[in-house]
Amino acid sequence: MTTFDYIVVGAGSAGCVLANRLSADPSARVLLLEAGGSDRKLNVRVPSAFAKQFRTELDWYYQSEPEPSLIGRSIYLPRGRALGGSSSMNSMIYIRGHRSDYDGWVDRGATGWGYAEVLPYFKRSEDNQRIRDDYHGHGGPLCVSDPSWTSELADRFIASGEALGNTRNDDFNGVEQDGIGVMQRTAKGGRRWSAADAFLHPVRKKRENLTVVTGAHARRITFEGTRAVGVEYDREGKLHSARCEREVILSAGAYNSPQLLMLSGIGAADHLRSVGISPIVDSPHVGQHLMDHPLASTTYTCTEAVTLGDATHPKYLVQYLVGRGRGKLGSSIAETVAHVRLQHGVPAPDFQILSGPAYYSDHGFRTFPGHAFSTGPVFNRPTSEGEVRLRSADPHEAPAIRNNWLSDPAEMRAMIEGVRLAREFAESGPLSEVAGRNIDPGPGVRTDAQIEAWLRAEAQHSYHPSCTCRMGNLDEGVLDERLRVRGVDGLRVADCSAMPRIISGNTNAPAIMIGERAADFVLGRELPKTETVSETGVEPALT
């Protein structure tokens, strides 16, 4: 038994932030538990190699239950299992979401989480290498930069989008999210800059009060009455216990945080009893409301050798290593995006049309022998909700995950329009000049019924699970507005599972922001609200 002031479970995007901010006080003893191991791997460092981590020791390698709305398919659900968590596995896209997402959280019971309140926390983390304005931070731990390499297809995609009426946007995190352009990413010198790189590695060996334990698989939170007082975990075949004097914070992600709450007796009482767990708190929303962004990969052959089709050639590895991140291996594959509104009356873009100079299908497991590119529609405003449930009381057994994507007919109608628009990008304007044969869904798939059938057989997701321990009003949320688990003391959840509703964008930047806010909540402080935000910009607050 060892004793700490704070125990953080999960060294992912939010957990690394918490470990850093809480251990900044030299008198505070902080334990960070991570089930995975080292992130010092070439496939972690190299941006274009992120999919090489899938189904390896760096991956939790989850599979969904058979999905009725997707013809019974079991969907592969990768999550990072190493220091940095999924920030060590993602495509590094830095997009925060739309301002209306956060203002909408307030309407759902997350008081104090409006855009004006969260913007200072995004800025505190950030060290933007290009943009200098009121929306961005400079000098923070998280390096945000433009890509070190983009293909010439990026310019063609943007020009095709502009021909279709999209406006050029060089900052999707500024005044406006709508528009088309190249995405910034969490990279430094052409290599990945994960949450571990930003927040953990710089302090891990310098702070004696910070203990990082890898290979530590959390079993359950321990309680005295209804107060969280520690964590039990397995490591190298042995059971360990760590005691906590102040707070336990779960940052294990949208699958593992609800799993750990349920293993500890917090969840729907009937479900817990069905797997042999005695309830401590009957909290029926634990594991419910799972959301993610459905994605479809529309792919084309490319008539010019300007893609990543030959990026595995040794010369590009030499170029990358000698040139410090230059060349094709510095690509994060998804290079450009158009944020568009296809449905009427939506307050934010409901689709991302991603484009990259590679054949990307079935998470990269399906390959194409030649040059190809992808234009993938991502539905940013889904309505379907899934769930995470326990299979048993065994903490080493993967949870039962159901997504229910495209179970809402309105979602399917939107996705069909998204596929049509992605094809329009590729088949008109400058991009069409190098677009050859349509590989996916194929030239014969054109009617609504055909596209729907293809989507049910092939649709995937954009790796953004959220909302399974959501903040909300007393009878609607697992957490209160300060991320505290309702019904117990000394326990919080800080990761994307806390989102009241999924945002209209990528989730790594918001996860880091949530970690920043959680640290301040724990320490009893908060960044002052010194700014008001209008639709046209950031202005000084009135006092």
Active site residues: 464
Q: Which two tokens stand for residue 242?
A: 């760590």
Rounded to whole angstroms, how far apart are CA atoms 187 and 193?
4
**Cα distance between residue 371 and residue 37, in whole Å:** 35
For Cα atoms 385, 515, 60, give the angle at the middle one, nearest 5 degrees: 55
> CA–CA separation, 378 vs 339, rounded Å?
10
214 phi/psi in degrees, rounded to 5? -95, 165
> Identity (one letter) of the amino acid at 441?
P
Distance CA 191, CA 188 (A): 5
Residue 356 burial (10 A CB sphere; 0-12, 13-18, 19+): buried
Residues 78, 463: contact at Cβ < 8 Å? yes
> What is the rounded CA–CA span in Å between residue 523 and residue 519?
6
Residues in the chain: 543
Beta strands in 251-325 (DSSP E): 266-267, 281-282, 288-290, 294-295, 298-302
Distance CA 183, CA 346 (A): 23
Using CB atoms within 10 A of its CB, is residue 121 exposed (0-12), middle (13-18) or buried (19+)? Answer: buried
DSSP string, 356-423: ESS--BGGGTB--SS-EEEEEEEESS----EEEE-SSS-TTSPPEEE--TT-SHHHHHHHHHHHHHHH
CA-CA distance, 445 to 438, in Å (whole number)? 10
Task: Measure the N-to-C terminal CA separation of the chain; round to a whole number of Å.
Answer: 50
Tell me whether residue 288 is exposed, middle or buried, using C-beta atoms within 10 angstroms of its C-beta: 0 to 12, 13 to 18, 19 or more: buried
CA distance 118 to 518: 12
